[in-house]
Chain A
Amino acid sequence: MSKPIIINIQDIGHRVIESIFRLGRASRFFLLLLLKSGMSLRRFDLVIRELYFTGVLSLIIILISGLFVGMVLGLQGYETLQKYGAESAIGALVALSLVRELGPVVAALLFASRAGSAITAEIGLMKTTEQLEAMGMMAVDPIARVVAPRFWAGVISMPFLAAIFSAVGVFGGYLVAVVLVGVDDGSFWSQMQSMVDFRYDIVNGIIKSCIFGVAVTAVAVFEGYDAVPTAQGVSGATTRTVVTSSLVILGLDFILTSFMFRGVS
């Protein structure tokens, strides 16, 4: 074999080993995070402070995106449904699409890019500027004091953001279908009410968004904590947070959907 091929194979091997190491570090980190979450529960004000930064400040992007996604669903749904004379089912279509899929998934994607990246950058910069080490030297565990409150705030925010996204989306669909296009008001809501099942649709949607919340925030805090403490390292970590958590959300969504909605009409 020629030398470049061997070097390439070594390079691939090196990357594989490095990824496995990283996965190991991530698992260990996640376990430590859970073990050290006691302080976050005892001092819930720490979590509330982070809820403001991750949850409340994400509201604008969630509200606006939810409204537009709902409006587009209303338009596209109407286009298709009216061909079959079923435009009265538009309410059900918008609501089901939102609570089952688009609400949890799009809200999580937006959350990853808005709050996840901010969490990674903040923790990464705290590491770069020796704030985490300084905290450790003050006998305060940075995982318990800095990482865990951010993690739990993200986990708590996510289902609420997804629910708000879906609710605003339904309103967007209503604006387009009823106010703009002229679908009957009563059939819009009654179809929605009869077609959307609380247990299958809404609860499953909430479960999804909870799982996405854990995934996105876990990726974000790990990337920040594991970032190489340089400007380049933090920027790389922030990018990886958005890319990895988006892919994880989409992958998990497929798996969860295939379990949750099997054989349900």
Chain B
Amino acid sequence: MLTDTLIEIKELSFSYGNRAILKGINLTVPRGKVVAIMGGSGCGKTTLLRLIGGSVTPSSGHVMLAGQAVHKLNRNDLFLMRRKISMLFQFGALFTDLSVFENVAFQIREHTNFPESIIRDLVLMKLHAVGLRGAHNLMPAELSGGMARRVALARSIALDPMLVMYDEPFTGLDPISLSVIGNLIRRLTDALGMTSILVTHDVQESLKIADYIYFISEGVIAAHGTPAEVRSSISPFVHQFVHGEENGPVPFHYPSGTYAGDLSLGNNFV
């Protein structure tokens, strides 16, 4: 199992100023699997991806990616490592001044000296994989949300990375696009032999495509398990999250003084 581990995160903590976002996260991501990281909005899921990609430095602990501590890499080594990983941003982050074709070709042009004919074939193959070969001449502004996400997916696999991180890939998609993206993530992971980390709060889709699921709450791993284990979990947090219940370990109300006090109905007005 150990040799098959692509990412190992140990006691990882991160704070923005005085606000602690992650407080000692431990998790492992095996090679060739789809691992979903779930949790409420603002629980630090995206920050975790940034820590794995080396955009931010942890306060303590470390991320080991393919045997290297990410935060200890110098800039050149970090950029070398980033050539082997890629990230799909929440709304695609396509380059709005480049066509669909050029977006997918971007990394290939930047990092290789391939002749134009090979670039063309590679880009069309990647676009074909996401079903958008016919859209290669369009500009990002002409795409629907689901199509933009698929182009971004094609762009993220342009150089056959060993790891793709998806930041909320399902947000704002209709059920068909959502399912298409979900299936693509699963199929591409298997076909290209890559590893996928999926940060999301879409429970049903994640249960469908992930091999393993971690739940983050209040900056720590609250629960983890395979989709089958998650479905049958008796943990109150997992139950609340999976069933979308309003009350449970995650409170509905932001911490505050007493309601009566705030409405100046009592003497303890604050």
Point out residues on A near B: beta carbons under 8 Å.
122, 125-126, 129-131, 133-141, 145
**Bound Cα distance A126, B98 (Å):** 12
Within 8 Å CB of B83, what residues of A?
A: 138-139
On chain B, the number of residues with a Cβ less than 8 Å from chain A's Cβ atoms is: 21
Q: Given that A138-B82, A138-B106 are contacting pairs, would A129 and B96 also be in contact in the complex, using a CB cutoff of 8 Å?
A: yes
Q: Which of B84-92, B112-120, B211-219 contacts A (4 or more CB under 8 A)?
A: B84-92
B55 touches A139 (CB 8 A): no
Q: Given that A139-B80, A140-B110, A145-B110 are contacting pairs, would A133 and B55 also be in contact in the complex, using a CB cutoff of 8 Å?
A: yes
B96 touches A131 (CB 8 A): yes
B93 touches A139 (CB 8 A): no
Q: Which 6 A-B pairs have the closest CB atoms?
A: A134-B93, A139-B82, A130-B93, A139-B79, A137-B87, A130-B89
B107 at the A interface (CB under 8 A): yes
CB distance from A199 to the nearest CB of B (A): 42
CB distance from B234 to the nearest CB of A (A): 38
6 A-B pairs within 8 Å (CB atoms) are namely A129-B91, A130-B91, A133-B89, A136-B82, A140-B106, A145-B110
Q: Given that A131-B96, A145-B110 are contacting pairs, would A136 and B90 also be in contact in the complex, using a CB cutoff of 8 Å?
A: no
**Bound Cα distance A131, B13 (Å):** 27
Within 8 Å CB of B86, what residues of A?
A: 137-138
Within 8 Å CB of A145, what residues of B?
A: 110
Q: For residue A132, which residue of chain B has the nearest CB?
A: B93
Q: Besides A135-B95, A137-B85, A138-B107, 15 other CB < 8 A contacts? A: A131-B93, A131-B94, A131-B95, A131-B96, A133-B55, A133-B93, A134-B89, A134-B95, A137-B87, A138-B82, A138-B106, A139-B110, A140-B106, A140-B107, A145-B110
Within 8 Å CB of A129, what residues of B?
A: 91, 93, 96
**Bound Cα distance A152, B87 (Å):** 30
CB distance from B27 to the nearest CB of A (A): 20
CB distance from A134 to the nearest CB of B (A): 4
